[in-house]
Structure 1
């Protein structure tokens, strides 16, 4: 299994969507999608839940 994201990490999932991890659960993370510059044009909800198996970490939190 790959590394589990931590709060503040930026992850990528589902065809290039990106977001900032706000909460880490046992099997998933809650992600804020407003991080993306084109968020408004995509018409998505502000937050979504992503299973740990379905994302990759693209940037670590600066607070670590």
Structure 2
């Protein structure tokens, strides 16, 4: 019996990275947790129209990094 690889190689964002998740939403990573990041959504130009909270938590498996921290 072969052992299955339990986790894929996940690239974890760094503080200040801009990530994209859920149908094109974007935000700036503010904090990194073991399994997730806390993201500031006010980065988006249309944030006010979306009626969302300022921050959200996203699992490392559910986002992609679109810009490095500067």
Matched, 1:48 2:56: yes
**1:22 equivalenced with 2:46 (yes/no):** no
What secondary structure, in the 3-state scheme, does the structure 2 residue paired with 1:34 have? Answer: helix
Alignment RMSD: 0.5
| Runs of 4 or more above 4 Å deviation | none
Q: TM-score, normalised by structure 2?
A: 0.87
Which secondary structure state, in structure 2, belongs to the residue aligned with residue 58 of structure 1? strand
Q: TM-score, normalised by structure 1?
A: 0.95
Gaps of 5+ in 2: 1-8
C-alpha displacement of 1:2: 2.9
Q: Over alpha carbons, which structure has the higher Rg?
A: 2
Q: Does the residue aligned with 1:40 lie in a helix, a strand or coil?
A: helix
Aligned position for 1:2:
10
- Tell me what 1:57 maps to: 65
Aligned partners of 1:52 and 1:8: how far apart in 2?
Answer: 15
